[in-house]
Amino acid sequence: MNVREIDHIVLTVTNVEKSLRFYHEVFDMPILTFDGDRKAVLCGKQKINFQLVDHPHEPVANKPTPGSADLCIVVKDKLPEVINHLKSYYVNIIEGPVQKTGAHGKLTSVYVRDPDNNLIEISNY
């Protein structure tokens, strides 16, 4: 098998509109509608789908739980600019800047949480 990339992930959330607003406004991710009324945001070349905890779309993960995801988003901006941007949206930085190792080498990261307490690492190389 020759794997090319991850196409999408699914976040289980308590409020789809609140999650859409957060990812769209804070990270400037375009909102997508697909399969009728399903919602997602575009994150680079990948998609983040949102499903309600009490109305999951089949097939579903074994234990779809809000707040259980840990994502790393790579940005082009320098981290001081990222930190100022996050502060302008009243997003609390829970850790960082710190040095980490990503898929392509060393990176610098800050950590925040989304409305469902998923851990979001914001990084640049």
Task: Give the pLDDT of residue 13.
Answer: 96
Percent of the chain scoring above 70 in pLDDT: 99
Question: Per residue in 57-72, pLDDT tens?
Answer: 778 787 889 999 999 9
Residue whose C-alpha is closest to residue 97's, from 105, 88, 86, 89: 86
Task: Give the pLDDT of residue 62.
Answer: 79
CATH number of 8-60+67-124: 3.10.180.10
**How deeply is 52 buried, as exposed, middle or buried, from its count of CB atoms within 10 A (0-12, 13-18, 19+)?**
middle
Domain ranges of the chain: 8-60+67-124
Task: Give the pLDDT of residue 60.
Answer: 79
Q: How far is CA 102 from the centre of its chain?
A: 16
Confidence of residue 37 (pLDDT cuts 50, 70, 90): confident
Active site residues: 121
Q: Does residue 125 contact residue 65 with C-beta atoms inside 8 Å?
A: no
